[in-house]
């Protein structure tokens, strides 16, 4: 069960990456690609995990090896920078792309339009059988996101893709509750129905 959830989480992450690439083409600003720096923690294991392999790793919550950004696009923070204003899940609009700093403005909420300076941050993921460090901007393009990432977000209009059924307790409730009016909610259900996963143990 845990393995299946892990595979589905990776599939959803990769699908979000593809969905987020589409709006980029409609923005005429010049794009800038930021590549991460990856290295294995135990140098004796370096020959077993070459840099090319480390660069290819993609997991939920881990910034991609290459992040392509443009001025004016929406991004989301993947790590806490300065809670509670600049925390995991904060959406921002890019205003300036520098070599080692991304300048952006908070997109919604009480701190909307506040300027944030995002640096490259080294992290060591804990969901791999080996330890490596990735130094990269802790952001992702954010026109599409997972349901888990949408918790706490409020949207004027939202589209929910249920091409893959929810696999966790409460996810189906979280998704449509992101908007205040059902008139602004669009749900894609290819088969016309989906499962509402409920774990009774969680309600005891």
In this prediction, residues 136-163 reach a mean pLDDT of 86
**pLDDT, tens digit, 9 for 90 and up, residues 75-116:** 999 988 887 778 888 899 999 999 999 999 998 777 888 999
91 Cβ neighbours under 8 A, 6+ residues apart:
74, 75, 76, 106, 107, 108, 142, 153
Residue 194: which of 169, 172, 175, 168 has the closest Cα? 172
Tell the residue number behind the tokens 């908070």, with chain if given.
Answer: 106
Cα distance between residue 104 and residue 167, in whole Å = 33
Six token digits for residue 111: 């701190």
Residue 32: strand pairing partners? 69
Gyration radius from the chain CA atoms: 18
Q: What is the pLDDT of residue 29?
A: 74
Strands 74-77 and 37-40: unpaired
Q: What is the pLDDT of residue 180?
A: 85
Q: Does the reported pTM lie above 0.85?
A: no
- Three-class SS of residue 9? helix
Kindly report the average pLDDT of the chain as a whole number. Answer: 84
**pLDDT, tens digit, 9 for 90 and up, residues 15-62:** 554 556 655 555 667 889 999 999 999 989 999 999 999 999 988 778
CA count, 13 A, side-chain hemisphere, 86? 15
Domain ranges in the chain are 2-144, 149-203
Q: How far is CA 154 from the centre of its chain?
A: 16
CA distances from 204 to 156, 167, 171, 196, 198 (A): 34, 20, 18, 18, 12
CA count, 13 A, side-chain hemisphere, 150? 23
Neighbouring CB atoms inside 10 A of 109's CB total: 13
Instruction: Please give the order of strands across the beta sheet that includes 37-40.
Output: 37-40, 132-137, 115-123, 101-106, 91-97, 74-77, 139-141
Q: What is the pLDDT of residue 16?
A: 56
The better pLDDT of the pair 22, 188 is held by 188
**pLDDT, tens digit, 9 for 90 and up, residues 59-76:** 877 899 999 999 999 999
């Amino acid at each position: 069960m845990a393995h299946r959830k892990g595979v589905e989480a990776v599939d959803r992450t990769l699908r979000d990456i593809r969905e987020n690439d589409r709006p980029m083409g409609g923005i005429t600003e010049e794009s800038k690609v930021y590549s991460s720096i990856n290295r294995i923690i135990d140098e004796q294991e370096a020959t077993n995990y070459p840099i090319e392999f480390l660069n290819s790793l993609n997991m939920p919550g881990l910034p991609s090896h290459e992040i392509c950004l443009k001025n004016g696009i929406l991004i989301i923070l993947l790590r806490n920078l300065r809670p509670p204003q600049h925390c995991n899940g904060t959406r921002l609009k890019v205003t300036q792309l520098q070599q080692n700093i991304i300048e952006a403005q908070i997109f919604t909420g009480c701190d909307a339009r506040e300027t944030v300076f995002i640096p490259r941050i080294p992290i060591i993921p804990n969901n791999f059988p080996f330890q490596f460090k990735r130094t990269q901007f802790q952001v992702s393009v954010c026109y599409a996101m997972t349901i888990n990432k949408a918790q706490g977000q409020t949207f004027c209009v939202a589209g929910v893709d249920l091409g893959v059924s929810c696999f966790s307790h409460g996810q189906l409730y979280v998704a449509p509750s992101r908007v205040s009016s059902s008139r602004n909610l669009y749900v894609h259900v290819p088969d016309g129905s989906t499962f509402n996963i409920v774990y009774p143990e969680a309600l005891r």
